[in-house]
Structure 1
Amino acid sequence: MFGKFQQCLGAVSSFFPVMPQLTNRNLAIDTLKVNEAKYRSLFENIDQSVIYLDAASIVMAVNQAAEQLLGIPRDIIIGRKFVDSCVTFFSEDGSVLPEERHPSVLALRTGKPVEDVVIRLFNADRQSYLWVVVNSVPEFRMGESQPHQVLMTLTDITPQKQSEDELSMASVIFNNIGEGIFVTDKDRKIVSINDAFTELTGFTQQDVYGQDAQFLQSKKNSLKMADELNNFTKTVNNWQGEVWRRHKSNADFPSWTTVNEVKDSNGEVLHYVHVFMDITHFKKAQDHLGFLAYHDPLTRLPNRLLLKDRIDHSLQNALREGSQAAVLFLDLDRFKGINDTYGHAVGDGLLREVAKRIKNLVRKEDTVSRYAGDEFVVFMENIPNTKNPAKLARKLIDTFNAPVYIKGYRLKVSTSVGISLFPQDGRDTDTLIKNADAAMYRAKKEGRNNFQYYSLELTTEAFEKMSMECALRQSIERHELVLYYQPQVCLKTGELIGVESSVRWMHPTLGLMPPKQFISIAEESGFIVALGEWALQHACMQMVQWLEEELYVNKMIVNVSAIQFLRSDFVATVERVLTSTGLDPSYLELELTGSGFMDNSGQMIKALNKLVALGIELTIDDFGVGCFSFNNLKRIPVKKLKINSSFVADVLDDVNDEDIIRALVALGHGLHLQVVAIGVESKAQHQRLIDLGCDGGQGYLYSSPVLPRSNIFRNLIGEG
């Protein structure tokens, strides 16, 4: 920096020492004047600030650039010691620079150049501090060892120092700011991160250096957002938005991210700066506020606003698809009395428990809402038929038969339910809710603890079914169930090969009811599990009694519904019954009924094989019309197939039925199974079945279902 200038201005020093004697004095004077004028112009007009000091540090000359840099007129400076010229100099650390450390003083004292000393001074004219680089070069006369003057230059580096300070400050901010920052190159490769980045993501500089910026994006980001973030520079030079970020522990978190371009002087992208903050807590607060806007804070169920929105949306779909929907309006019976007696804390606890029980009964696609006070609404979309809401209403009413325990109090509560159907009872949300509410009030007038359809005809049918179900559930404890028995015989010999048990219900008002009038209700309600266990228990007890009386009965046949397998540990139930009654498993035959056995899941096959392992025989009922797959015949070691009575009824008159029986017999015998025909009512049918190869028969020809103590039955089985 200083070398070139020194070469250009070296001759200026000839202005001040004594000139050598010239032979031609006039010529020397003229030459001196020309040179002086030339170098004076150079001295005055050069951009570099230059000051000449003598051996005593007295200022001899100051150029215009130096005058402007110092902010003091030169006539004040020239002739005075430079360090006393009203200019205060500061070191880089901010302290006042002592005279002995001034570059010009050091150069005069040591006789050596002092270069590139950074100092600060106050410019009085600009009223601002400047940073300068000072170079001081001592000059010597021929033969002298001490310098007689010093050439000092000052270079203003204030802009550079400010840039350095800004960079330093930026570095401090970069490393201490709470937001995470990472910088990528123009190809989006990560080149730098700050401390907050590591704190927020768990990744260190070593982990991410050279990685593509997408490395930090979570898979939770939508493809649209990711594409927008990666391509924003096509339209704008900055981007901001919500981005899910990866954490080293795989615990991803949401962030608010801002991305800015950094360009060079030619407008070319050098870097991208990504600044982000963790907004997990903000999102939680936002989600909570959003939740409160659409949910009841006590039960956390959807409120009226969200309920209406969901019903409106669903009804639009239902109109397009031609599907049905239902609104159930529930009101707790006598809730006000509980609230007034036990206080609001208990009342609130009861409402929370009510909400929980309702939620446990509905389908995933159904909406449960706390409508107001002790009123709740259930919206069922896409219902298969109009009976489905009644099934749910019955379950809702039943669930409140169990007492509720709140803060040590045992509470009994019931509910009245009103049902409206879409589209017949209304084609918009408000109408459906209003009509369901009207139906609920009719339920209260009918004695509470029941449900009513808005359409009276549906209410009557559903209520009768519900009444039947309620009565059926009490049939066991009221001792209203009875087992009847019907024999199976060998077609060729007429010998007894087994006895099939079937349940009857002695209804308190309707009299004795056959299974077809109530078994379907038992299956729909789930009561078939308890009913089936009762029937198995009493059939085994009867078999034990017959054996003790030495009455020869080869097999006790008990019907088993697929629902018993699906809703209970049926194998454990059978083992428990056999243990409690003491019946040898070889005397028990289970007849599999219902389409549920078409399910050849591993769990069901395993359970059936466990029964066979106990020594129990299995029979497939209604073979030929049921849904039991042929594949299951290979997987379950059944012993018998029972041909449905519909084929037997017309076997004498319908060639097709005869061919079907012949084919079923051939299939059974091909699998080494016995084939039994049911519904045999005439000797002609009996003989035709023998001709077709059937092994056994069951029907009114041999005996109707009878009580175990019937003389007809006892005469049929005979005594062993």
Structure 2
Amino acid sequence: MFEKLKEDFGAFTSFFFMMPQLTTRSLAIDTLRVSEAKYRSLFENIDQSVIYLDATGIVMAVNHAAEHLLGLPRDVIIGRKFVDSCFQAIKEDGSVFPEEQQPSMLALRTGKPVEGVVMGLFNSERQNYFWVVVNSVPEFRAGERQPHQVLMTLTDITLQKQSEGKLSMASVIFNNIGEGIFVTDKDKKIISVNEAFTTITGFTQQEVYGKNAHFLHSKKNSIKIDDELSNLTGTVNSWQGEVWRRHKNTMDFPSWTTVSEVKDSSGEVAHYVHVFMDITHFKKAQDHLGFLAYHDPLTRLPNRLLLKDRIDHSLQNALREGSQAAVLFLDLDRFKGINDTYGHAVGDGLLREVAKRIKNLVRKEDTVSRYAGDEFVVFMENIPDAKNPAKLAQKLIETFNAPVYIKGYRLKISTSVGISLFPQDGRDTDTLIKNADAAMYRAKKEGRNNFQYYSLELTTEAFEKMSMEYALRQSIERHELILYYQPQVCLKTGKLVGVESLVRWMHPELGLMSPKQFIYIAEESGFIVALGEWVLQNACMQMRRWLDEGLQVNKMVVNVSAIQFLRSDFIATVERILRSTGLEPSSLELELTGNGFMDNSEQTIKALNQLVALGIDLTIDDFGVGCFSFNNLKRIPVKKLKINSSFVVDVLNNANDEDIARAVIALGHGLHLRVIAMGIESTAQQRRLMDLGCDEGQGHLYSSPVLPWSNVFRTLISE
């Protein structure tokens, strides 16, 4: 700094007080003589603030620049110690600058220049501090070792310090702000991150430095920030929006992000600043509010608004596809009495339990809604037939037969259900709900704890079917099921080759019923599993008795429904029954009925092969009627095909039926399978089937289905 002063002064280094030297490095002032007036002019007009102090620190001279900088007239400054005129001096850390440590006093005490010291001085006029860089150079007289004065220059750096302060403040904010910040260069490569960035994402500066900002983007994003930034214009230099970001150790998270361009002096983008915050909790709150807008807060079921939206949408699909749908309107019987007696807390608990029981009974695609108070609505889309909702209605009624325990109270409730169907009972949501509500009120008038269709005719049919299903479920316990047996014979020899077991139901009111009258109910209700097991168990027991009597029966033939077979425990059930009856597997033949066997999945093939491995023969029943494909025949290890009786009854008079019988027989023989025809009633039919190559037969020609102790039957077995 002192060198700069020398340049400004040029060759004039003498002072009007006739000091011997300006610096320890200057030439002796005695060799330079200039006019005092010219030097004073230079001293006063130089831009550099200059102050001279004597050996005690008293100000001797101040130029105009120093006077202006200090904000004090020179007559206040001259003749006093420098610090006294300025009141106070501070260090950069804000502490008071002791007088003995100030640059001028150190230069006087040590005799050495003290340069580049930053000081804060109080400006009395502005009542604030300004910042200067101080250089103090001691001056000596010839032959003296102690300086007799000191030259002090002051350079104003207030604006620089303010800029540094702003940068320091920006740095403090950058590192202490709660939002995550990362800065990229113009190529979108990360060059800096703050502490919040690491806290929020789990990534450190070292882990992301130099990587493209896209590294932090989640695959869940539907937008690309790069595309958004490319659309910025000169008047808009930032973008903000929701961005999913990666986390180092946990799941991706949503963030609200602002990206701003930072341009250089030429107007070109130099950096991008990304500021973001984790909005996971906000999103959860938002989702919760959205949930509450469409759901009942007590039961968490869809409310009326969401129910209407779902029904509206489903009915549009139903109209296009020509499918049916149903609305079930439920009202709890005498709920108000429970609420009034036990209080609202118990009533609320009961409603939650009701919602839970309903949800446990419906299909995944069905919608359950708490419509209002103790009213619930179930919407069933794409139902197979108009009577199907009755099954669900009955299950809903039955589920409340079990008591409900709420807060120590044992509550017994029931429900009344009304059913409306689309499209016959209404073609829009409001009409369907209104009509189901009307049907529910009719159910209440009928004594509560029942269901009613909007159509009286359907209600009657549904109740009849429900009554039949209920009675069928009791048939095993009440010993109402009976097995009849029908022989199967070799067409060439007339000898017995097997006996098929055929179940009958002695209904307590309707009398003896054939399988056609109740098997479909058993299959729809799932009772076919228990019924099939009962038939298999009793047929094997009868076969064991016949064998123990010495009767010549080769095979016991038992029908197996696909529903029964596809249960995971079916093979184990067969093995258990064979062991319990002591019957050899080779004495058992299973007839596979139903289209469920058309599935040639590996699981099905494996199960069928397990049965064959046990020694059990397999027959495909009603071949030519169902959907059994030829390809399945190559994979399923069956030994026999059975021609349906519908092709046998007209085999003599209908060329098509004869052709079908001929094709089935040819196909079976081509695959090395035996073929049996059922429904043979005349010797003419028998001869025609023999001519076509059929191997075995079954029908009234040989014997109608009879009880095991029938004389006709036992005679046939004995022959």
Normalising by structure 2, we get a TM-score of: 0.91
Partner of 1:28: none
1:651 counterpart SS class: coil
Partner of 1:499: 499
Partner of 1:299: 299
Closer/same/farther in 2, CA of residues 401 and 91 from structure 1, 3 Å limit: closer
CA distance in 2, matches of 1:584, 1:243: 70
Identity %: 83
1:547 counterpart SS class: helix
Deviations 1:593-623 (A, max 9, x none): 0000001112222111111122211101111
Give 1:260 deviation, angstroms: 2.8
Deviations 1:523-577 (A, max 9, x none): 1111111111111111111111212222221111110010112345211221222
* Larger CA deviation: 114-123 vs 324-333: 324-333
Report if aligned partners of 1:232, 1:238 keep a CA contact under 8 Å in 2.
no
Partner of 2:587: 587
| 1:174 aligns to 2:160 (yes or no) | no
Partner of 2:97: 97
Give 1:303 deviation, angstroms: 1.9
Partner of 1:701: 701
CA distance in 2, matches of 1:506, 1:411: 39
1:224 counterpart SS class: coil
* Larger CA deviation: 592-601 vs 434-443: 434-443
CA distance in 1, matches of 2:132, 2:19: 34
| 1:224 aligns to 2:223 (yes or no) | yes
Give 1:265 deviation, angstroms: 3.6
CA distance in 1, matches of 2:493, 2:404: 62
Report if aligned partners of 1:138, 1:150 keep a CA contact under 8 Å in 2.
yes
1:558 counterpart SS class: strand
2:434 counterpart SS class: helix
CA distance in 2, matches of 1:146, 1:109: 8
CA distance in 2, matches of 1:323, 1:236: 54
Give 1:476 deviation, angstroms: 1.6
Closer/same/farther in 2, CA of residues 90 and 213 from structure 1, 3 Å limit: same
2:14 counterpart SS class: helix
Question: How many residue pairs end up in the alignment?
Answer: 707
Partner of 2:418: 418
Partner of 2:24: none
CA distance in 2, matches of 1:256, 1:246: 13
Give 1:669 deviation, angstroms: 1.7
Give 1:432 deviation, angstroms: 1.7
Report if aligned partners of 2:485, 2:708 keep a CA contact under 8 Å in 1.
yes
CA distance in 2, matches of 1:187, 1:471: 79
Q: Structure 2 counterpart of 1:133, which letter?
A: V
| 1:78 aligns to 2:78 (yes or no) | yes
Deviations 1:480-520 (A, max 9, x none): 21111111000000000011111111222222111111111
Closer/same/farther in 2, CA of residues 102 and 336 from structure 1, 3 Å limit: closer
Gaps of 5+ in 2: 21-31
Partner of 1:455: 455
Report if aligned partners of 1:597, 1:627 keep a CA contact under 8 Å in 2.
no
Closer/same/farther in 2, CA of residues 318 and 646 from structure 1, 3 Å limit: closer
Deviations 1:626-675 (A, max 9, x none): 22232332333211111112222222223333233222222212222111
Q: Structure 1 counterpart of 2:241, which letter?
A: G
Give 1:319 deviation, angstroms: 4.8
CA distance in 2, matches of 1:680, 1:3: 132
Report if aligned partners of 2:506, 2:513 keep a CA contact under 8 Å in 1.
yes
Partner of 1:598: 598
Report if aligned partners of 1:529, 1:568 keep a CA contact under 8 Å in 2.
no
CA distance in 1, matches of 2:238, 2:277: 17
CA distance in 2, matches of 1:427, 1:331: 23
Partner of 1:123: 123
Partner of 1:357: 357
User: Once superposed, what is the RMSD of the aligned Cα atoms?
Assistant: 2.7
Give 1:438 deviation, angstroms: 0.9
Closer/same/farther in 2, CA of residues 71 and 19 from structure 1, 3 Å limit: closer
Mapping for residues 2-21 of structure 1, pairs under 5 Å = 2-9=2-9, 11-18=11-18
1:14 counterpart SS class: coil
Give 1:230 deviation, angstroms: 5.3
Deviations 1:180-235 (A, max 9, x none): 222222222111222222222221112111122221222222x2365666556457
Closer/same/farther in 2, CA of residues 239 and 141 from structure 1, 3 Å limit: same
Report if aligned partners of 2:644, 2:677 keep a CA contact under 8 Å in 1.
yes
* Larger CA deviation: 525-534 vs 415-424: 415-424
Partner of 1:199: 199
CA distance in 1, matches of 2:311, 2:643: 49
1:619 counterpart SS class: strand
Partner of 2:111: 111
Q: Structure 2 counterpart of 1:516, which letter?
A: K
Mapping for residues 395-410 of structure 1, pairs under 5 Å = 395-401=395-401, 404=404
Partner of 1:25: none
CA distance in 2, matches of 1:180, 1:488: 84
CA distance in 1, matches of 2:13, 2:527: 121
Q: Structure 2 counterpart of 1:287, which letter?
A: D
Report if aligned partners of 2:6, 2:13 keep a CA contact under 8 Å in 1.
no
Closer/same/farther in 2, CA of residues 200 and 358 from structure 1, 3 Å limit: same
* Larger CA deviation: 87-96 vs 68-77: 87-96
Closer/same/farther in 2, CA of residues 128 and 611 from structure 1, 3 Å limit: same
Report if aligned partners of 2:19, 2:141 keep a CA contact under 8 Å in 1.
no
CA distance in 2, matches of 1:314, 1:226: 37
Report if aligned partners of 1:70, 1:87 keep a CA contact under 8 Å in 2.
no
Give 1:19 deviation, angstroms: 10
Closer/same/farther in 2, CA of residues 489 and 346 from structure 1, 3 Å limit: farther
Closer/same/farther in 2, CA of residues 189 and 70 from structure 1, 3 Å limit: same
| 1:373 aligns to 2:376 (yes or no) | no
CA distance in 1, matches of 2:346, 2:84: 91
| 1:536 aligns to 2:548 (yes or no) | no
Report if aligned partners of 1:261, 1:271 keep a CA contact under 8 Å in 2.
yes
* Larger CA deviation: 513-522 vs 179-188: 179-188
Partner of 1:483: 483
1:716 counterpart SS class: helix
Give 1:270 deviation, angstroms: 2.8
CA distance in 2, matches of 1:350, 1:511: 44
2:210 counterpart SS class: coil
CA distance in 1, matches of 2:321, 2:45: 92
2:709 counterpart SS class: coil
Report if aligned partners of 1:185, 1:272 keep a CA contact under 8 Å in 2.
yes
Deviations 1:681-719 (A, max 9, x none): 111110111111111001111111111122221222126
Gaps of 5+ in 1: 21-30
* Larger CA deviation: 128-137 vs 85-94: 85-94
Report if aligned partners of 1:106, 1:114 keep a CA contact under 8 Å in 2.
yes
2:276 counterpart SS class: strand
* Larger CA deviation: 546-555 vs 391-400: 391-400
| 1:310 aligns to 2:319 (yes or no) | no
CA distance in 1, matches of 2:639, 2:320: 51
Report if aligned partners of 2:86, 2:123 keep a CA contact under 8 Å in 1.
no
2:426 counterpart SS class: coil
Partner of 1:607: 607
CA distance in 2, matches of 1:458, 1:228: 61
Closer/same/farther in 2, CA of residues 229 and 383 from structure 1, 3 Å limit: farther
Deviations 1:130-163 (A, max 9, x none): 1110112234456655545433211111122122
Q: Structure 2 counterpart of 1:208, which letter?
A: V
| 1:67 aligns to 2:67 (yes or no) | yes
Give 1:321 deviation, angstroms: 5.4
CA distance in 1, matches of 2:608, 2:581: 21
1:85 counterpart SS class: helix
Deviations 1:90-146 (A, max 9, x none): 222333323332222333333332211111110111111011101122344566555
* Larger CA deviation: 493-502 vs 352-361: 352-361
Report if aligned partners of 1:536, 1:558 keep a CA contact under 8 Å in 2.
yes
CA distance in 2, matches of 1:704, 1:72: 134
Partner of 1:634: 634
CA distance in 2, matches of 1:479, 1:39: 137
CA distance in 1, matches of 2:429, 2:296: 19
Normalising by structure 1, we get a TM-score of: 0.91
Give 1:403 deviation, angstroms: 5.4
1:552 counterpart SS class: coil
CA distance in 1, matches of 2:337, 2:531: 38
Give 1:435 deviation, angstroms: 0.9
CA distance in 2, matches of 1:713, 1:500: 12
CA distance in 1, matches of 2:427, 2:692: 59
CA distance in 2, matches of 1:86, 1:411: 91
Partner of 2:547: 547
